[in-house]
Amino acid sequence: MKLAEFQRAFFDLIRQPLTAAGGQRSHTLLGQAVRMIAEGLVTPGPRLTPFERLELYSQGYWFRLLDVLREDFAGLRALLGRHPFEQLAAAYLADCPPDSFDLRRVGARLEGWLANHLHYAARREGAALDMVRLEAAEIETRDAIESPSLSAAELGELAADPSLELQPHLRLLDLAYPVDALLAETRRRTAERTPAARPTAAAEGGAKRRARHRVRRAVIPQPENVCLAVHRYEQSIYHKRLAPEAFVLLRALQQGCALSKAIETAVDNADDGKLGEISGRLQQWFAEWAALGWICRKPAEAVRAAA
């Protein structure tokens, strides 16, 4: 068996969901006997059979996946509570086992899965979906590329109606709940419980176990429309609340509209009493966005500028 074939066969085995008791299943989801497959892939040890050795690998892999979900979706865990979150995570992984070796993609399908399994977020459905959207956006923002940005001075030198694009790492979220504030509060409390000094491995493991038991379900925030930008600045992830009109303008730019059309879209979606406010704040908005590095040239314009 070639190395790539072995890796794929082994990966297919260890990504089979564990039993309810946390052990290796006797058969794969396709009905194949795991013990027989293990004997063809894993050599026996001095004390363990191939199946038992495979079980150790599988447990280590699945417990790591659960840890990744706990870390990447700490806000959802705080919102639902420890036990409901653990049940949700186990069910999600059983339905959506990883399809790549990249652990950063473990929760990539969680939003769509949760939308079809809302009973795991009973009485907190809307806030839970918004929290998943926010935390998934943070993961995408962290991993996305960054394009050369335009400064405020360069923006002023562009044609009257330039075509602009936004940074690939910028995510725009129209939320029904202020989950950004809840996530910030969750992280603040976690930081307060974390010792400043670097603990030993044993102490760190014990602290993690105690922290899991200390998780208390957060109070559901009152519904509130929040227009949020999730972005990266100097390798850190930030949230920035936006005026609804600014949000509409940015989304239009993100969808490929020329600047004049994007402004027109923002004006069309604004209340009559805010039309003058939009005109007065356009320069301020673009200065802020340029300072944050959000605005780039369209690829064709970047080529012409470099020529």
- What is the per-residue DSSP string for the chain? --HHHHHHHHHHHHTSPPPTTS---SB-TTS-BHHHHHHHH----SS--HHHHHHHHHHHHHHHHHHHHHHHTHHHHHHH-HHHHHHHHHHHHHHS--SSS-GGGTTTTHHHHHHT-GGGGTT-HHHHHHHHHHHHHHHHHHHS--PPBPPHHHHHTS-SS--EEE-TT-EEEEESS-HHHHHHHHHHHHHHHS-SSPPPHHHHHHHHHHHHHH--PPPPPPP--EEEEEEEETTEEEEEE--HHHHHHHHHHHTT--HHHHHHHHHHTS-GGGHHHHHHHHHHHHHHHHHTT-EEE-HHHHHHHH-
Average pLDDT score over the chain: 87
pLDDT surpassing 50 at residue 210? no
pTM higher than the cut 0.95: no
* Residues of the chain above pLDDT 90, percent: 53
pLDDT at 168: 95
Q: What average pLDDT does this structure show over 190-212?
A: 59
Comparing 34-38, 41-45, 213-217, 223-227, which segment has the lowest mean pLDDT? 213-217
**pLDDT tens sequence across 223-247:** 999 999 999 999 999 999 999 999 9
**pLDDT tens sequence across 260-281:** 999 899 888 877 666 667 777 8
**pLDDT tens sequence across 93-134:** 989 988 877 888 999 999 999 999 999 999 999 999 999 999
Q: What average pLDDT does this structure show over 201-210?
A: 51
Q: How confident is the model at residue 144 (pLDDT cuts 50, 70, 90)?
A: very high
Q: What average pLDDT does this structure show over 67-76?
A: 97
Where is mean pLDDT largest: 14-18, 60-64, 127-131, 284-288? 127-131
pLDDT at 306: 42
Contact yes or no for 13/34 (Cβ under 8 A): yes
pLDDT at 244: 93
pLDDT at 205: 55
Q: How confident is the model at residue 299 (pLDDT cuts 50, 70, 90)?
A: low
Say which residue the tokens 């399908």 belong to: 109
